[in-house]
Chain A
Amino acid sequence: MTTYRAEIQITLKPSVLDPAGTAITKGLQQQQYAGVQQVRIGKYIELILTAADAATAHAQVERLCQEVLTNPVIETYRFRLEAGE
């Protein structure tokens, strides 16, 4: 078994209004950061797991994301997987 480390990023789907992101966008634009076009807030999760190989680890993280870590009604995700802690 090999140990893998997954770095998962979760954000609201583009079609879902992100009120926190919108508030920050407006705040930044009112300061000296006029070039800021959009801010989206999300979650970042680090996960260590063991699996037989990278493909199995990938499938496990995929399943975890779909079934638990995200709510498919409003959220989307992407992740990076690498061997070692």
Chain B
Amino acid sequence: MKCGIVVFPGSNCDRDVAWVTEHLLGLPTRFIWHEETDLGALDLVILPGGFSYGDYLRCGVLARFSPVMQAVVRHAQQGKWVLGVCNGFQILTEVGLLPGTLMRNRELRFICDTVPVRVERHDLPWTCQYQVGQRLMLPIAHGEGCYYADPDVLRELEQQRQVVFRYLPPNPNGSLADIAGICNRQGNVLGMMPHPERASDSDLGNTDGLGLFQGLVAWYAKNAMPNPGL
């Protein structure tokens, strides 16, 4: 299972992700500069957290125009895995791979905390190592993490079971339906505000996020290629 981590000007969680995929899990991992246009034979592309393009205009909007994003969209369309964490989630909504948007936090403050999150489904590669209803403690660090979508889109997200992670009370940022992470309808694209990569190394005292990456490894071993199997 080959991993690629996209590096935009302003990304700052790229090395944290590589620490998990390469160092902790031993997966071949390479950094992809945002000007690259060929992803090669990657199975998993990760858009890491950070402040791409300084968050100018809107979080994630300018990253959409990076040359690499066309390749990322093609990668997703082929059914391969795309994970967007924090700023990566914002980019996925701006590029249209996921619906809705991330707005300024309800309380208008940047939040840096570790919060309880509930796993909503475990039939996805991302969550197959967790149980439905499992409570994870995951770090969040964002100013614009309040998920918003029109009522029609929200209804469809619920009907299609696209909400993968929900904040447990108290909702930290005002996200509608307590949404912390959603996937596309096929399940191969996941966007989430919490940082699983920051909760993966036991030296840091919390490994609740490691299961997400281990789930992909297990799924890949069983299915030989990324396939949500939905």
Interface residue ranges, A against B (CB under 8 Å): 16, 19-20, 23, 68-69, 71, 73-74
A83 to B222, CA, bound (A): 63
Contact with B100, one of A19, A20, A69, A73 (Cβ below 8 angstroms): A73
Kindly state the separation between the CA atoms of A69 and B56 in the bound complex, as whole angstroms.
Answer: 11
Contact between chains at B61 and A68 (CB < 8 Å): yes
Shortest Cβ distance from residue A8 to the other chain B in the assembled complex, whole angstroms: 12
Residues of chain B with a CB closer than 8 A to A23's CB = 108
Interface of A is mostly: helix
Q: What are some 23 contacts across the A-B interface (CB < 8 A)?
A: A16-B103, A16-B148, A19-B104, A19-B106, A19-B108, A20-B104, A20-B108, A23-B108, A68-B57, A68-B61, A69-B57, A71-B58, A71-B61, A71-B94, A71-B101, A73-B100, A73-B101, A73-B148, A73-B149, A73-B150, A74-B101, A74-B103, A74-B148
Q: Within 8 Å CB of A73, what residues of B? A: 100-101, 148-150
The interface size bin for chain B is 10 to 19
List 13 additional A-B contacts (Cβ < 8 Å) besides A71-B101, A73-B150. Answer: A16-B103, A16-B148, A19-B104, A19-B108, A20-B104, A68-B61, A69-B57, A71-B61, A73-B100, A73-B101, A73-B149, A74-B101, A74-B103
Q: Closest Cβ of chain A: how far from B50's Cβ, in Å?
A: 20
B107 at the interface (CB under 8 A from A): yes
- The residue in B58, B100, B104, B108 that gathers the most chain A C-beta atoms within 10 A of its C-beta is B58
Q: Which residues of chain B have C-beta atoms less than 8 A from A16's C-beta? A: 103, 148
Chain B contacts of A20 at CB under 8 A?
Answer: 104, 108
Name the distance in Å between A52's Cβ and chain B's nearest Cβ: 25
Q: A70 — nearest CB in chain B belongs to which residue?
A: B58
Closest to B65 in A: A68
Shortest CB-to-CB span from B66 to chain A, Å, is 14
